[in-house]
Amino acid sequence: MNETVEIKIGEESFKLPVIVGSYQEKGIDISKLRGMSGYVTLDTGFKNTGSTRSTITFIDGEKGILEHRGYRIEQLAENSSFLEIVYLLFHEKLPNTAELAEFEQAIKDHTGLPAQIRDVLNALPDDLHPMGMLSVMLNSLPGFMPESLDSWTDEAIRWKTIYTLLANMPVMAAYIYRRQKGLEYIDPDTSLGYVENFLNMTFGSADAKLVESLDTLLILHADHEQNCSASTARFVGSSHVNLFAAIGAANNALWGPLHGGANQKVLEMLEAIRQDGGDADKYIQKAKDKSDPFRLMGFGHRVYKNYDPRARVIKKYVDQVLDSLNLEDPVVDIAKGLEQAALNDEYFAQRKLFPNVDFYSGIIYRALGIPVNMFTVMFALGRLPGWIAQWKEMRENGEPIGRPRQIYTGETTRDYVELGQR
């Protein structure tokens, strides 16, 4: 028998179906509640609301577990390559050798942007944040591929749009880096691997150690179920706008400091602490002080009430990457000290606040030579396949346009008063 729950409103009772997930997590389907009772549910910030059924990514926030299509993130990070994960997100299974080769070739075949995209980038204000630059370019792409305005109906156009995005996100990211530095653009070289090509377009060379480290970071960012930017991709895409526009919107959502923009803020915070003498406790006190807007960036998560498994992998990598590059970074000790102080603090323990993916990632990006204001672009590079997979699933499911209800708390009907009489 399918489980139902009964809610009682006044004298009336309403039966609502319970939807059960693969791991027995349960959700009450309230989609018909308003029709039956006149009531809507209210959940600002979606703290308790599932927006969809999804088969892509599973998180158990209490236990600190993250899986894509049933594979644990630790195993994927250890054994896989970024493009294998992209394939997994799109096609629900890991590719075999031939499938992976075909997939990589399709991406290569779509690599390269019209020269005009450089003019678009060059025309932007110098002080525009790299995430803003990326969004402008993403939103310009339909201009070079007008058939993408309907990115769904025709399967060939759908895949052309998807491959164009995947192939050229690294190109756009590299262009942004070169533009910021006032350097000549470097054309993509499709004889190189995906990450290798990105590093080559960025720095003019691609050290094997950097390739491996960055590949792992991209895997760790590939998808994270219904986060703010993925939900944006689904929500904006639900109006049937083209995929480039939905991804541009997701990119803007990621830019915010409470989401992907946190990785830049973490490094700025660690630098500020260093310059202020390195006293972690002082900043822990600030983060706890409700009259102080300061928050410990890279800490806390809506879903994880345990250590973020991605942060655990990245933390392990920090020392490895710095050692292999023969680098020392004074903020590493500050970050570790801050983490320890927070984990031992009652305020953070009570609220189950742990380091998230953004806490240590910036230290690695910086070691790779990525400027701090490009960190969120790196996050976007990794998250792109997740956004596409979420959009694709939303369209495959035939989900309706996203359009929440509200509880109106403003003025009730009143008569218009002529301008001169107010």
Point out which residues bind ligand CMC (CB under 6 A).
227, 258-260, 262, 287, 295-302, 351, 353, 356-358
Pull the structure tokens for residue 268: 């700025």
Yes or no: say if 336 and 322 are a contact pair by the CB < 8 Å rule: no
Cβ 359 to ligand CMC shortest distance, Å: 7
> In the complex with ligand CMC, which residue's Cβ is closer, 157 or 334?
334
- Of 167 and 311, which CB lies nearer to ligand CMC in the complex structure? 311
- Tell me if residue 194 falls in helix, strand or coil: helix
Helix (H/G/I), strand (E/B), else coil: 284: helix
- Asked if 250 and 387 count as a contact pair (C-beta separation under 8 A), the reply is yes
Residue number with CB closer to ligand CMC (197 or 229): 229
Question: Residue of minimal CB distance from ligand CMC?
Answer: 300
Q: Coil, strand or helix: which one is 330?
A: helix
In DSSP terms, 17 is beta-bridged to 4
Cβ distance to ligand CMC smaller for residue 103 or 299: 299
As a whole number of angstroms, the distance between CA 83 and CA 103 comes to: 8
Nearer to ligand CMC, 9 or 258 (CB): 258
* Residue whose tokens read 């830049």: 264
Catalytic positions: 301, 358
User: For the range 397-405, what are the long-range contacts, defined as Cβ-Cβ under 8 Å and sequence gap of 24 or more?
Assistant: 397/52, 397/53, 399/52, 399/234, 399/238, 400/238, 401/238, 401/239, 401/240, 402/51, 402/234, 402/235, 402/238, 402/239, 405/34, 405/40
**Closest approach of Cβ 228 to ligand CMC, in Å?**
7
* Shortest reach from residue 45's CB to ligand CMC, in Å: 6
Provide, rounded to whole angstroms, the least separation between the CB of residue 328 and ligand CMC. Answer: 25
CB of 13 to ligand CMC, least distance (A): 33
Q: Please identify, using beta-carbon distances, which residue of 231 and 242 lies nearer to ligand CMC.
A: 231
Shortest distance (Å) from residue 74 CB to ligand CMC: 18
Please report how close the Cβ of residue 348 comes to ligand CMC at its closest, in angstroms.
Answer: 7
Cβ contact 74:151 at 8 Å: no
> Rounded to an integer, what distance in angstroms lies between the CA atom of residue 237 and that of residue 233?
6
Q: Which helix (H) or strand (E) holds 8?
A: strand 4-9
Q: Phi/psi at 28 (nearest 5 deg)?
A: -90, 125
Whole-number Å distance between alpha carbons of 404 and 394: 16
**Full DSSP string of 286-301:** HHH-TTS----TTB--
Nearer to ligand CMC, 248 or 300 (CB): 300
- Rounded Cα gap, residues 126 and 114, in angstroms: 21
What sign for the dihedral angle of Cα 331, 333, 337, 339?
positive
CB distance 296 to 284 below 8 Å:
yes
Residue 60 β-bridge partners: 65
Closest CB to ligand CMC among 161 and 264?
Answer: 264
Q: How far is the CB of 300 from ligand CMC (least distance, A)?
A: 2
